[in-house]
């Protein structure tokens, strides 16, 4: 796996999936022999390119689980989909993937706490889906998180296995910090854990992009309109 352009080792289970702690974060080391480990969010990890498999930039083969000291061994987690490429069923040559599915999200709250609404726009080529939904009474932070969760739910059916990526745009530093930067959740812990779990199991890589709110970004402005309309109409 890669972390900020560096090859790393990640703890995986027998099924090849990353092992996450109760906060939804992975265990990572820069070298398998390191005594110190780190806890990045899964969204911060990406598949390692060829030649970085041993976690230190070399090309030595990984040791097999038969020679590992335990059934859980730190090795690069197998990539479902590379950032711009997709592995075939046999793990052979990589084929070019299509452009990412673009997800735009925003949350609105009339008062904080108060009536909440979300706006979501999902775009894939010429296909577009918009969601405006009233959530009930809560906080703006809850609305921002649920908007991202709903955006992923809308995007998921559009994924062709092994051929797509998803890019989530949000103006919420809070939501991106929790879901992409490994911030610890002091509030809304169940909601955050639920979304982190969904991200870990998501069938394609998800990247987050912080956008400026109320700055004339067309799709961000549209999400804001959808969220506010949902609050006004309570639907």
How many Cβ atoms sit within 10 Å of the Cβ of residue 96? 8
Q: Look up tokens 């961000």; give the residue.
A: 220
pLDDT at residue 235, as a whole number: 63
Q: What is the DSSP string of 90-149?
A: TS-SEEE--PPEEEEEEEEESSSSEEEEEEEEEEETTEEEEEEEEEEEE-HHHHHHHHHH
Query: What is the C-alpha to C-alpha distance for residues 130 and 132, in angstroms, rounded to an integer?
Result: 7
How far apart CA 23 and CA 37 sit, in angstroms, is: 16
Q: Which pLDDT score is estimated for 74? A: 38
Torsion of CA 155, 2, 78, 52, to 10 degrees: 140
- What integer pLDDT is reported at residue 201 of this predicted model? 92
CATH number of the structural domain 101-233 = 3.30.420.10
Q: Can you tell me which residue has the tokens 């939904």?
A: 133
SS3 of 159-201: the string is CCCCCCCEEEEECCHHHHHHHHCCCCCCCCHHHHHHHHHHHHH
Give pLDDT, residue 12: 81
CA angle, 21 then 76 then 4, to 5°: 80
Structural domain boundaries of the chain? 1-79, 101-233
The pLDDT profile of the chain, 235 residues, written as one tens digit per residue, is 777 667 877 888 776 777 877 667 788 777 776 666 777 777 777 777 655 544 443 333 333 333 333 333 333 433 333 333 333 333 333 334 578 999 999 999 998 899 999 999 999 989 999 999 999 999 999 999 999 999 999 999 988 755 579 999 999 999 999 999 999 999 999 999 999 999 999 989 999 999 998 888 999 999 999 999 999 998 6
Distances (CA, A) of 111 to 108, 120, 138, 139, 232: 9, 21, 9, 8, 13
Q: Are 52 and 7 in contact (CB under 8 A)?
A: yes
How confident is the model at residue 124, as a pLDDT?
Answer: 92
């Amino acid at each position: 796996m890669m972390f900020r352009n560096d090859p790393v080792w990640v703890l995986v289970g027998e099924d090849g999936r990353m092992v996450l702690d109760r906060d939804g974060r992975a265990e990572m080391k820069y070298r398998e022999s390191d005594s110190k480990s780190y806890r990045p969010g899964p969204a911060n990890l990406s598949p390692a390119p060829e030649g970085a498999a041993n976690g230190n930039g070399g090309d030595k083969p990984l040791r097999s689980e038969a020679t590992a000291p335990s059934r859980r061994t730190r090795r690069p987690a197998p990539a479902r989909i590379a950032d711009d490429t997709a592995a075939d069923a046999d793990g052979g040559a990589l084929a070019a993937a299509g452009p990412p599915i673009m997800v735009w999200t925003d949350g609105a709250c009339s008062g904080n706490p108060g009536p909440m609404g979300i706006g979501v726009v999902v775009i894939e080529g010429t296909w577009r889906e918009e969601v405006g939904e009233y959530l009930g009474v809560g906080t703006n932070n809850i609305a921002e998180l649920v908007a991202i969760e709903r955006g992923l739910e809308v995007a998921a059916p559009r994924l062709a296995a092994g051929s797509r990526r998803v890019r989530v745009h949000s103006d919420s530093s809070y939501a991106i910090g929790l879901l992409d930067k490994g911030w610890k959740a002091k509030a809304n812990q169940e909601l955050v854990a639920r979304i982190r779990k969904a991200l870990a199991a998501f069938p394609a890589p998800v990247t987050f992009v912080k956008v400026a709110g109320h700055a004339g970004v067309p799709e961000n402005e549209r999400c804001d309109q959808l969220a506010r309309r949902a609050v006004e109409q309570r639907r």
